[in-house]
Amino acid sequence: MSQICFQDLPTDILYAIVKWVIGGTLDIEDVMFGAPDSRRQIEMLPWYLSAVCKSLARKTASMSNLWTLLFIAFVPDEPFMVAQLIRLQCLAARAQSSPLHVYFSSAPLEHCDSYFTTLSWLSDILPRVQTFAMWTMPSEEGKLGQSSPPIRLLQSRQKLPSLERLSLNTAAEISEDGRNLPPLVTAPNLRQLRLCGVPLAQLGAAHFRCLEQVDLVCCPVRLHHFGRISTWWPDLVSLRLNVTASFEDSWMLDRLPVFPVTAGVTAPIPIGPFHSPHSFSGSDPCPPLRRLAQLSIEGPIGEYFYETMERSSLPALRQLRTSISLSSFSALFFERAAPNIQDLTVAAYQSYQTLHHVFPQHILRYTGSLQKLSFEDIWFEPGDLMAMSNATVALQLEVLRFRNCRFVHSAKQELVAVLAQNSQSSRSSGTWSIRALHIIQIDKTEHALPNHIIGQVENLVGEVIREDLVDF
Chain segment 423-452, per-residue pLDDT in tens? 766 445 545 568 889 999 887 777 888 888
Tell me whether residue 225 is in a domain. no
How many residues in total does the chain contain?
A: 472
pLDDT band at 320 (very low <50, low <70, confident <90, very high): very high
Tell me whether residue 31 is in a domain. yes
Helices (H), 271-410: 303-309, 331-332, 355-358, 384-391
Number of domains in the chain: 2
Chain segment 261-310, per-residue pLDDT in tens? 333 333 333 333 333 334 444 455 678 889 999 999 887 677 788 878 87
Tell me whether residue 88 is in a domain. yes
Tell me whether residue 411 is in a domain. yes
SS3 per residue for the chain: CCCCCHHHCCHHHHHHHHHHHHCCHHHHHHHCCCCHHHHHHHHHHHHHHHCCCHHHHHHHHHCHHHHCEEEECCCCCHHHHHHHHHHHHHHHHHCCCCCEEEEECCCCCCCCCCHHHHHHHHHHHHHHEEEEEECCCCCCCCCCCCCCHHHHHHHHCCCCCCCCEEEECCCCCCCCCCCCCCCCCCCCCCCEEEEECCCHHHHCHHHCCCCCEEEEEEEEECHHHHHHHHHHCCCCCEEEEEEEECHHHHHHHCCCCCCCCCCCCCCCCCCCCCCCCCCCCCCCCCCCCCCCCEEEEECCCCHHHHHHHCCCCCCCCCEEEEECCCCHHHHHHHHHHCCCCCEEEEECCCCCEEHHHHCCHHHHHHCCCCCEEEEECEEECCCHHHHHHHHCCCCCCCEEEEECCEECCCHHHHHHHHHHHHHCCCHHHCCCCCCEEEEEECCCCCCCCCHHHHHHHCCCCCEEEEEECCCC
Chain segment 283-297, per-residue pLDDT in tens? 556 788 899 999 998
Q: Which of 129, 162, 184 is the last residue of a domain?
A: 129
Q: Which of 110, 129, 148 is the last residue of a domain?
A: 129
> Domain residues for 49?
1-129
Q: State the pLDDT at residue 467.
A: 87
Considering the chain, what percentage of its residues have pLDDT values greater than 70? 65
Q: State the pLDDT at residue 11.
A: 65
- Residues 369-394 have a mean pLDDT of 82
Q: State the pLDDT at residue 292.
A: 94
Q: Which of 129, 158, 188 is the last residue of a domain?
A: 129
Tell me whether residue 48 is in a domain. yes
Q: State the pLDDT at residue 316.
A: 92
Tell me whether residue 284 is in a domain. no
Q: Are 240 and 216 in contact (CB under 8 A)?
A: yes
CATH of the domain at 422: 3.40.50
**pTM of the prediction?**
0.79
Inter-CA distances, 72 with 77, 86, 150, 307, Å = 13, 12, 11, 43
- Residues 45-67 have a mean pLDDT of 78
C-alpha span between 243 and 218 (Å, rounded): 5
Tell me whether residue 337 is in a domain. no
Which contiguous run of DSSP H or E holds residue 219? Answer: strand 213-221
